[in-house]
Amino acid sequence: MIEAALQLNKPDFKLEVNFSVPGRGVTAVFGPSGCGKTTLLRAMAGLEPDTTGSLSVNAEQWLGANGSKAVEERRVGVVFQNPSLFPHLTVQENLLYGRKRLRKITEPIDLKELISSLGIQELLLRYPEGLSGGEKQRVALGRALLADPRLLLMDEPLSALDQSSREKLLLLLEKFLQDIDIPVFYVTHSSEEVARLADNLVLLANGVVSDHGAIQQVLGAVDGELSRSDTAFSMIEGQIATTQLPGLICVDCGAGIVLQLPDSTSMSGFRYQPGSAARLRIRARDVSLCLEAPQRSSILNILPAVIAELAAKPHNGSRIVKLDIAGKQLLSKISEYSVRQLELRAGQPVFAQIKSAALI
């Protein structure tokens, strides 16, 4: 477990957080900019000396009644927003900076394997100044991991990159972060990164944790901070179906649910292998409800569903409705007017029209 109860007063900002998340997997720290995500990460790393409260990482006390463990004692790996390699050291020297300072190496890491899985074997003898942003971040990630950290903190590692290197690094992180056995805290304001990387979610707003827990649970909380925001979305897991229709990609989500998406393969140049796992991100505002099955619609995905829960109160004239589709949860954001007009209530069968879904 990672358990935190942290307070930090800065002249213009107050952080007061309480949460506990499992001690493994990727925990996304999600929220709008200025909500204190980076400050939370810095406080966890020990880089904000005025932090009070308690923090323990897998039963190891970093902050508490016995005082605060120094940053260099915490064994915390940090990948900063802006690549921060040491300019006077080569890539290889950067990679080994932390490893050389380990008192004893408990986790034998295969250096060659790590370097090749990060795709940086060609860069070892070069200096950071000639590297691209994506390359620098991969080296920074390798450098943090080689120091055998107990917790890896990543502060919007993709935000300083251009679109194509961001996509490349995200693909690498998706696989990489699942394979390593170290808990990861990943700060982001991108719902796509959350959906693609996270197992757990800590929602932050104005320096306070508004919700935290397993990702499906937090995403599905109809009265939660996330549901009320414009970014409310659901995540459905499935696999690329073996039978495909022309011009479409079909994703089999189990229990007879097959979602169809326009095939943009020609655009992305990326071919989806039938049978491979897929995650779909569906924005709540892209899901509308009908009481009867619509006929001859241009909308590809119309699924029978049951209303599981309605948000207690409307927010800005709309209401979040949680649907149950054969055991999968899906959020829909519709106008309060429609809620009244259709007399929607929990337990009611409806049809969900999914205007668009993103394969991520």
By CB under 8 A, tell whether 147 contacts another protein.
yes
**CA 168-274-162 angle, 5° bins:** 15
- Min dist CB 196 to another protein, Å, is 25
> Quick one: which of 144, 201, 205, 320 contacts another protein (CB under 8 A)?
144
Count of residues engaged in binding another protein, rule: CB under 8 A: 26
Sign for the pseudo-dihedral over CA of 306, 283, 256, 301: positive
Return the DSSP state at 285. G
| Among 175, 172, 202, 171, residue whose Cα is nearest residue 186 | 202
- Min dist CB 301 to another protein, Å, is 45
By CB under 8 A, tell whether 261 contacts another protein.
no
Distance CA 248, CA 121 (A): 38
By CB under 8 A, tell whether 317 contacts another protein.
no
Q: Between 76 and 203, whose beta carbon lies closer to another protein?
A: 76
Distance CA 21, CA 212 (A): 8
Identify the H or E element spanning 116.
helix 111-117
Among the candidate windows 14-22, 32-40, 49-57, 78-86, which touches another protein by CB under 8 A?
A: 78-86
330 close to 352: Cβ distance less than 8 angstroms: yes
- Min dist CB 337 to another protein, Å, is 51
By CB under 8 A, tell whether 207 contacts another protein.
no
Distance CA 77, CA 151 (A): 6
Residues 113-142 touching another protein, rule: CB under 8 A, are 129-130
Q: Between 130 and 269, whose beta carbon lies closer to another protein?
A: 130
CA dist list (Å): 338 to 170, 332, 334, 347: 38, 12, 7, 17
Q: Between 94 and 301, whose beta carbon lies closer to another protein?
A: 94
Among the candidate windows 70-78, 190-198, 227-235, 341-349, which touches another protein by CB under 8 A?
A: 70-78
309 close to 350: Cβ distance less than 8 angstroms: no
User: Side chain identity at 349, as an amino acid letter?
Assistant: P
Sign for the pseudo-dihedral over CA of 138, 143, 149, 155: negative
By CB under 8 A, tell whether 98 contacts another protein.
yes
Q: Between 144 and 170, whose beta carbon lies closer to another protein?
A: 144
By CB under 8 A, tell whether 104 contacts another protein.
no
Residues within the interface to another protein (CB under 8 A):
45-47, 70-72, 74-78, 80, 82, 84, 86-88, 97-98, 101-102, 129-130, 143-144, 147
